[in-house]
Amino acid sequence: MSGDANETVLRILSRLPMATPDASRSERVRARCHTVLARRQRKAMRAENRASQAPRALELALVGGFCVCYVSAVIFEALWARGIL
């Protein structure tokens, strides 16, 4: 391009309005992003809770089983000591 063509293009470009963001659109996008992030966080927390429930249930079953064994052994010993068994 020649110098005159460059000046013409620059003059035309200088008359264009400055680009400004649309505030309402920005708020809508921001709100959608917050919604998606909150949904992902809730989903991750639910998955984490589900993953931690299986070991907890196993722990409760084992402790419960040991308690039943202990109580039955105590009862057996008490009955044996009294001469009932």
Cβ proximity of 69 and 63 under 8 Å? no
Q: What is the pLDDT at residue 49?
A: 77
Cβ proximity of 13 and 7 under 8 Å? no
Token digits of residue 42: 């809730």
Q: Say whether pTM exceeds 0.75.
A: no
Over residues 3-21, the mean pLDDT reads 86
User: For residue 57, is pLDDT > 90?
Assistant: no
H-state helical runs in 1-85: 3-15, 23-82
Domains of the chain, by residue range, sit at 21-82
Q: What is the pLDDT at residue 5?
A: 80
pLDDT tens per residue across span 25-56? 999 999 999 999 999 999 998 888 777 787 88
Q: 48-51: which pairs have CB atoms within 8 A and are 24 or more residues apart?
A: none
Q: What is the pLDDT at residue 51?
A: 74
Q: How far apart are CA 67 and CA 73, in angstroms?
A: 10
